[in-house]
Amino acid sequence: MEKEREVSGAWPWPDSLDALTAAPGHHRLLFENERVRVLEVRIGPGQLVPVHTHRWPSAVYVISGSDFIRRDGEGKLLFDSRTMGPPLVTPTLQWTETLPPHSVENIGNAEILLISTELKEGAREQGETGRDAKR
């Protein structure tokens, strides 16, 4: 499916699953233009973020973290942070590819606070060269 999506460029999920639409209580738009979309993501201890998607890859600045579980759109476990060893030292920066339908549950004792800078696909297609085109 990933290869097919790359070739066709079509996003297979409805706009109604976009993070800002499907989970507005946890995603806040900070900035958007034709190249990027910047989101603040907040997930309190014990909170469950409804199923949503992230259409674009992103650089995620983790201000504060906590243990969490990510499940797919059907509820199947995809990731449990407790299996990854010691917790992240924050702040830190991570790269995240596009995310199909998923939910996130904060199973820790601290708020998860992220700033996600999503790189829209069109920005790479507008003739960027040199270091500006690196991902």
d(CA 34, CA 122): 7
Which of the pair, 130 or 37, is modelled with greater confidence?
37
d(CA 65, CA 4): 33
pTM of the model: 0.83
* Average pLDDT of the residues in 88-112: 96
Which CATH architecture does the domain made up of 2-122 adopt?
A: Sandwich (2.60)
Indicate the domain borders of the chain.
2-122
Strands 112-119 and 58-64, how do they pair?
Answer: antiparallel
pLDDT reported for residue 121: 78
Amino acid at 8: S
Residue 15's pLDDT band, with cuts at 50, 70 and 90, is very high
